[in-house]
Copies of this chain bind each other. A is one copy, B any other.
Amino acid sequence: MSVASPGTSDVAPAVLAEYGAICRQALQGYLAVQADRGAEYLGAAVRDYPGRGGRSLRASLCIAVARVFGAATEDAVRTATALEMLHNAFLIHDDIEDASEERRGQPTLHRLHGVPIAINVGDALTVLSLRPLLENRESLGLRVSLRVLEEAERMARETVEGQAIELGWRRENAVDLGEQDYLRMVLKKTCWYTMIFPLRTGALIGTRDGLDLDEFVRFGFFLGAAFQIQDDVLNLIGDQKQYGKELAGDLREGKRTLIVIHAMNQATPAERARLTAFLSLEPEQKVARDLIWVRELIERTGSIEYARHVAHGLAGAASLEAERLFRDRPEGRNLQFLRELPRWVIRRS
């Protein structure tokens, strides 16, 4: 059965809701301790982003994979919760680094509390994520717990390296970039923590370290890259209220999305020069007239359609990988969720 077949039911929202609720409860438990322990200036700020909702995609993926490989939900909850904490830590620091104004429909944390406090709250969430990973010991034992920690170290390292590449491109106003550069950056910045880590640790927990985890990298890369490209598209054409961030924020922030890279490479020399100059400006220097011009250039070069085409191809490749990776796993909701995921990441709004 092909994953992309039209007959598949929509199990993804139900699975996300179920596992998301479990992880949110666990997360609130860990973060409540923070306030009780006399961290009088930290508690509320640490709970802010996690309390704004979100789909718990990463946490749900980790649990679903663990279950597909035979674990109980309980065995994966701590790892999934740690990942949600780290995700929120990344968001807080990313929002400062990108000078973003909104997150999940509300002002970003640094706009509420200032940059110094927001940096520290991000650091706090990073630190707090270690607690559930250390408590894994209770259900997974010493050896598997330490393996999960090794996976977390690798994942966090890939993420900061990906972030460094994106920030370096902006700092240097890099314009000679191609699709391969973009995909390598996204592999590190997005795919590793959003998809590859949950896949690897889910399998690790489910099999008690009985599989070659490198088998999961391609699936996670295809899924994560499709996910990021869809995010880039939504930033330009989405419903702002549903999307929760300011529209065209990526353009204002000078991000090298696949769309911008494609437009740059399709543009005439004169357009290329103007786009290069636009990208070099600080966010607050970018005026509406130029933003509209860039938006029109993107239309003219067909860059959004191109990005959608690439995302579709990646989702198709992910579907094939899912079939291969999980072919001998028992049928059920968790497996169905994994099969639906490639289609879900490019259809979400």
Partner-B contacts on A (CB < 8 A): 37-42, 93, 96-98, 113-117, 119-121, 123-124, 126-128, 130-131, 134, 137, 142-143, 145-146, 149-150, 152-153, 156-157, 159-161, 163-165, 167-168, 170-171
Query: Are B97 and A116 in contact, with the CB atoms below 8 A?
Result: yes
Chain B residues, Cβ within 8 Å of A153: 127, 130-131, 134
Query: Are A160 and B119 in contact, with the CB atoms below 8 A?
Result: no
- Which of B120, B128, B160 is A93 in contact with, Cβ under 8 Å? B120
Query: Are B41 and A117 in contact, with the CB atoms below 8 A?
Result: no
Query: Are A146 and B157 in contact, with the CB atoms below 8 A?
Result: no
Query: Are A137 and B146 in contact, with the CB atoms below 8 A?
Result: yes
Closest B-chain residue to A156, C-beta based? B127
**Known A42-B160, A114-B171, A116-B97: A150·B165 in contact at CB below 8 Å:** no
Query: Are B93 and A171 in contact, with the CB atoms below 8 A?
Result: no
Chain B residues, Cβ within 8 Å of A156: 127, 130
5 smallest CB-CB distances across A and B, nearest first, come from A41-B168, A97-B116, A42-B164, A130-B153, A127-B156
Report copies per complex: 2
Q: A146: shortest Cβ distance to chain B, in Å?
A: 6
Query: Are B161 and A42 in contact, with the CB atoms below 8 A?
Result: yes
- Which of B39, B149, B167 is A161 in contact with, Cβ under 8 Å? B39
Additional 11 contacts, C-beta under 8 A, given A42-B161, A117-B168, A128-B157: A39-B165, A40-B165, A41-B168, A93-B123, A117-B164, A121-B164, A123-B163, A124-B157, A130-B152, A134-B153, A149-B149
Chain B residues, Cβ within 8 Å of A164: 39-42, 117, 120-121, 124
Chain B residues, Cβ within 8 Å of A149: 130, 134, 149
Q: Give A159 to B123 CA distance when docked, in angstroms.
A: 10
Closest B-chain residue to A169, C-beta based? B41
Query: Are A113 and B40 in contact, with the CB atoms below 8 A?
Result: no
Chain B residues, Cβ within 8 Å of A146: 134, 137, 142, 145-146
Chain B residues, Cβ within 8 Å of A96: 115-116, 119
Q: Give A168 to B116 CA distance when docked, in angstroms.
A: 10
Q: Give A37 to B161 CA distance when docked, in angstroms.
A: 9
Closest B-chain residue to A128, C-beta based? B157
**Known A160-B123, A160-B127: A167·B116 in contact at CB below 8 Å:** yes
10 examples of A-B residue contacts, CB within 8 angstroms: A39-B161, A40-B165, A41-B167, A42-B164, A93-B119, A116-B167, A116-B171, A117-B168, A127-B157, A134-B153
**Known A161-B42, A171-B114: A123·B120 in contact at CB below 8 Å:** no
Chain B residues, Cβ within 8 Å of A143: 142
Chain B residues, Cβ within 8 Å of A114: 171
Closest B-chain residue to A116, C-beta based? B97
The interface centre, meaning the residue of A121, A163, A165 with most chain B CB atoms within 10 A of its CB, is A163
Q: A191: shortest Cβ distance to chain B, in Å?
A: 15
Chain B residues, Cβ within 8 Å of A167: 41, 116-117, 120
